Amino acid sequence: MSKIRVMSENLANKIAAGEVVEKCVSIVKELVENSIDANSTEIKVQLKESGLREIKVIDNGIGMDRDDAKLAFERHATSKLYKDDDLFFINSLGFRGEALPSIAAVSDVVLKTCHDEIGTMIHIKGGKILKIEDSELRTGTSITITSLFYNTPARLKHLASPYSELANVVEYINKIALSYPKIKFILTNDDKELLNTDGSGNLLKVIKSIYGLDVTKRMISIEGSNYEYNISGYISMPEVTRSNRNHMTTIVNGRVVRNSILNKTINEAYSKYKEDTRYPIVVIIIDTDPSLIDVNIHPSKLDIKFSNFDDLKELISSSIDKAIKDKLLIPKVEEKVKVEELSYDNLSLNLEREVVKDNDDSLYKAKLNDLVNFNYEDNLEDVEENNNYVEELPSEKLPELYPVGLALGTYIICQNDTGIYLIDQHAAQERVNYEKYKYLLGHPTNNYMETLVPLVIELPVSDFIVIKENKDILDKINIKLEEFGSSSFRVLTYPTWFPSGKEEMIVKSIFEMILTKEKDFSIEKFNDNLSKMVACKASVKGNTRITVEDMESLISQLRQCDNPFNCPHGRPTIIHYTIYELEKLFKRSI
Query: Which tens digit of pLDDT belongs to each residue from 227-245?
Result: 889 999 999 988 788 878 8
pLDDT at 392 over 60: no
* Of 202-206, 357-361, 369-373, 526-530, highest mean pLDDT: 202-206
Q: Closest Cα to residue 240, out of 84, 351, 93?
A: 351
Mean pLDDT across the chain: 78
Q: Give dist(CA 566, CA 431) in Å, integer.
A: 7
Q: Which CATH number fits domain 218-325: 3.40.640.10, 3.30.1300.10, 3.30.365.10, 3.30.230.10?
A: 3.30.230.10
pLDDT greater at residue 544 or residue 363? 544
Range list for CATH 3.30.565.10 in the chain: 9-196
Q: Which residues contact 360 (CB under 8 A, 6 or more apart)?
A: none
At residue 84, what are phi and psi to the nearest 5 degrees?
A: -55, -40
What does the pLDDT read at residue 530? 87
Range list for CATH 3.30.1540.20 in the chain: 330-590
Contact 45, 29 (CB under 8 A): no
Q: Give dist(CA 148, CA 104) in Å, integer.
A: 9
pLDDT tens digit sequence for 119-142:
899 999 888 889 899 887 678 999
Range list for CATH 3.30.230.10 in the chain: 218-325
Helix (H) or strand (E) holding 349: strand 349-350
Q: Give dist(CA 544, CA 542) in Å, integer.
A: 5
Contact 40, 124 (CB under 8 A): no
The CATH code of domain 9-196 reads 3.30.565.10
CATH C-level class of 330-590:
alpha beta
CB count, 10 Å around CB of 291?
11
pTM of the entire predicted model? 0.63
pLDDT greater at residue 163 or residue 8? 163
Q: Give dist(CA 97, CA 78) in Å, integer.
A: 5
DSSP label at residue 215: H
Contact 23, 109 (CB under 8 A): no
Band the pLDDT of 341: cuts 50, 70, 90. Answer: very low
Alpha-carbon separation of residue 148 from 98, 131, 138, 145, 260 (angstroms): 17, 19, 26, 7, 31
Q: Which residues contact 525 (CB under 8 A, 6 or more apart)?
A: 268
Q: Closest Cα to residue 281, out of 248, 257, 306?
A: 248
HEC-encoded secondary structure of 355-413: CCCCCCHHHHCCCHHHHCCCCCCCCCCCCHHHHHCCCCCCCCCCCCCEEEEEECCCEEE
Range with the poorest average pLDDT among 26-35, 75-84, 469-478? 75-84
pLDDT at 184 over 90: yes
Band the pLDDT of 300: cuts 50, 70, 90. Answer: low
pLDDT greater at residue 350 or residue 4? 4
pLDDT at 24 over 80: yes
Contact 325, 341 (CB under 8 A): no
